[in-house]
Amino acid sequence: MASQVISSHEQNIWLINNGCTSYMTKHLAFFSSIDKSIQLKVKLGNGDVVQAKGRGTIAVSTKRGTKIINNALYIPELD
């Protein structure tokens, strides 16, 4: 699981779980590249099913340098 929180100060905080099934975000601007032809249905932990509107690459800046998240899903309906 990877998730992020955007505060009113534009601070990005990511929580990354290397054992997750899929990385996902609702923010299209986070993608350095995206293939919008990928349209998958994803079942969330709470049982809801949402539509992915693309899959691509996200670069996350960390204290130890930039980390690349490949195959991240773009899901506009995420909270």
Q: What is the pLDDT of residues 16-70, one digit of tens each?
A: 666 677 889 999 999 999 999 999 999 988 899 999 999 999 998 888 899 899 9
Give me the domain span that covers residue 44.
23-79
Confidence (pTM): 0.75
**The tokens of 37 are what?**
């032809």
Flag whether 9 is in a domain. Answer: no
Measure Cα distances from 7 to 4, 10, 13, 51, 75 in Å: 10, 5, 9, 25, 19
Q: How many domains does the chain have?
A: 1
Flag whether 17 is in a domain. Answer: no
Flag whether 53 is in a domain. Answer: yes
Flag whether 3 is in a domain. Answer: no
